[in-house]
Every structure is written in structure tokens, then in C-alpha cells.
Structure 1
Amino acid sequence: MTTPTIINTIVPESERMNIVDGLFGMSYMLKLEPVVFSIAEALAESYKGAYWEFHDLSNGGWYMAPRHDTEFTVSCENGFDGKLSPDAFGITACLYAFSELSFAGDRMARTCATQYHLLREYVAGHPEARSIYRAID
């Protein structure tokens, strides 16, 4: 049995807040976004901010990734050092954030735990899956 392909759609500007409000409510602005940006800064010295695109996944998952022209050199506390495309960098930062925020025991924590697993499911078919897994494990 084969796993169906997960479709990745970039969320149009006009729908961005509807998507995050439906998934995370006010916790997106108060918790998730600041944690993702902080993790991005910690992972890549060259990251100095960017416009982030939102990605809606057909399995119910969601992530954000910086719109950037070049790869990021990433260094993780787990020993991973390597280059990631902006998309893989965003996925990695979101996986770290979802994991970190999943331990609070509230609705946001449950949502982040679910999003972590849905995003990992998508990563399995990503061209940079191996590097993403190495960066997060």
C-alpha cells in the first residue's frame, strides 16, 4: 500500500490570517510566530529576518518558510551542520517550535503536537527529508 502524496499549497496573502486563526487562534501571534523566529535565528547565523510564506498541507498540516534566495547554513545543538533550502529551513524551524510548544498541556500544546506529526508526515516525501531529519533528531 502506498501513502498518498501530500499536496503543499502556498496560502494566498488574503487567507493567511484565516488559516492561522483557525489552527492556533491568538496563540499564533503570541506564541508560535515569536518561537519560530527565535529558533530560526538560533539555527542560522545568516538569518536576519525575512518575509515568511505560509504552507497549507493536504493532510491538515501547516508550516511557514522564509522567502529567501539562497540556502541557509544551519548549525544545531544535536551536532547537525549543513545547508538547507529556505523551505527545508522553515520546516525545521517549525518542527522545533511545534515540539517546544507541545508540552504546555493546553489547547495550543495539543495543536502543536498534532501539527508536528502532520508536518513530519509531509517531510517523508520532501527532497531534503534526510537533512531535515538529521537537523531535528
Structure 2
Amino acid sequence: MSMQPVPEAITATLIPDAKRMNYLPATFGRYFMRGESLVYGWMRRLSKDYSGGFWHYYSLSNGGHYMAPEMGDSRLAVLVDGNDFEGNLSADAAGIVASLFALNQLTHEAKGEAQDHLIEQYYKLVEFATTHPESGAIRRAID
């Protein structure tokens, strides 16, 4: 009987204030200003409950990254017109959704190695999202 290796859980680590400047280029490459703007724009588009504010940056143990608004335990009503998703998500899960939409859009705008990096970031975040406590809702929101 052969034993299948158990995959390691992907963990998210909050980026400390002193390292926030490195986060955006690590996530979005040379498109870091556009990427950040897209995440905020997607959140405004996806949730009328979102009204701006401070965002947390997270790095993932698989090399991925995402952003999430600082909203404590508040939940956001999220509506995705393109696939009829409607649900209440934690700020963390909503941030993952907004980050995935931004990465997806940016992959269509980027070229060459930058595009490859963004595609890799997208799939690393999807991999993490499958283990998130709200994975079902995240999946429905992005499908």
C-alpha cells in the first residue's frame, strides 16, 4: 500500500507595515500601480457596502498574494452581474475575489513575461482560495 503525500496547507501572512512597499511590485510586477487601482475598482464594482479605507496585504506560502480591506468582522454584500452571484462575504473573502478579478483583467492587458507572472499569481491565489473557509462562495463569485 503506497501512501500519498498530504499536501501542505497554504497559509496567508499579513505583510507588516515596514514591508508594504515591496508587496505591490511582487504581486503585479511592473503593472503594480494599475494592479492596485484595479483591485480597488473591482471592490467598488462588486460591493455597494465598500466605501474605501485601509487595505491589508497578504503573502501566501505558495508564493501568491492578495489584498483585503480592513473591515474587522464586517461582511460585504457582493453582487457579480456576469454570473448572477449574490452573497455576503467576509472582507477577507471579498478581497480575494476583488484581487482575482483584478489579476484576471491585468493578464489580458499585460504582455510577455509580465503576463506570465500575473497568470502565475492568479493561479496561486485560486489555489489558496480553494482552502479558504468561504471557498464555495469565492468559487461561485469568480466562475
Shift of 1:55: 0.3
Q: 1:58 to 1:37 in 2, by over 3 A?
A: same
TM-score by length of 1: 0.93
**Which residue of structure 1 lines up, in the alignment, with residue 79 of structure 2?**
75
**Structure 1 residue 109 displacement after superposition:** 2.4
Change in CA separation of 1:131 and 1:22 when aligned onto 2, cut-off 3 Å: closer
Return the offset for 1:63.
0.4
Match of 1:38 in 2: 41
Q: 2:11, 2:61 within 8 Å by CA — same for their partners in 1?
A: yes
- CA offsets 1:49-77 (integer angstroms, 9 cap, x no match): 02110000010000010000310000001
Identity %: 37
Residue 26 (structure 1) shift:
4.3
Query: Structure 2: 5+ residue runs without aligned partners?
Result: none
Alignment size in residue pairs = 136
1:111 positional shift: 2.0
**Considering only CA atoms, is the larger Rg found in Structure 1 or Structure 2?**
2
Local SS of the residue matching 1:102 = helix
Q: TM-score, normalised by structure 2?
A: 0.89
8 A Cα contact 1:101 1:108, kept in partner: no
Query: Shift of residue 110 of structure 1?
Result: 2.1
**Distance in 2, Cα, partners of 1:113 & 1:26:** 14
Q: Secondary structure of the equivalent of 1:75?
A: strand
